[in-house]
């Protein structure tokens, strides 16, 4: 019985050791990939942000106009 318990404890320690090795390997890989990221400078970030905002507003206006036109058309057909 004692041998069985010590075997279980040893197996649990091995599992914990393997888990921590996997976590450490993942974190090292994550850190390495994070160092490869090229961060935009202030000017590029401003241009990209402005572009996203303008395109979002234009798409919103386009969808609103289409909704209005389709709604008016359906209203005319149903009436």
Question: Quick one: DSSP state of residue 24?
Answer: H
Confidence band for 5, pLDDT divided at 50, 70 and 90: low
Give residue 2's Cα distance to chain centre. Answer: 49
Instruction: Give the angle subtended at the CA of 65 by the CAs of 61 and 57, to the nearest 5°.
Output: 5
What's residue 17's pLDDT?
A: 73
What's residue 12's pLDDT?
A: 63
Confidence band for 4, pLDDT divided at 50, 70 and 90: low
pLDDT in tens, 26-79: 999 999 998 999 989 999 999 999 999 999 999 999 999 999 999 999 999 998
Integer Cα distance of 64 and 52 in angstroms:
18
Take residue 23 and report the two structure tokens written for it. 């976590």
Take residue 59 and report the two structure tokens written for it. 């798409």
In contact, 40 and 48? CB cutoff 8 Å: yes
């Amino acid at each position: 019985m004692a041998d069985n318990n010590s075997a279980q404890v040893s197996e649990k320690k091995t599992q914990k050791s393997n888990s921590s090795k996997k976590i450490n390997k993942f974190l090292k890989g994550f850190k390495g990939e994070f160092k490869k990221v090229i961060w935009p400078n202030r000017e590029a970030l401003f241009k990209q942000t402005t572009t996203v905002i303008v395109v979002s507003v234009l798409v919103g206006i386009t969808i609103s106009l289409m909704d209005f036109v389709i709604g008016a058309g359906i209203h005319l057909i149903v009436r």
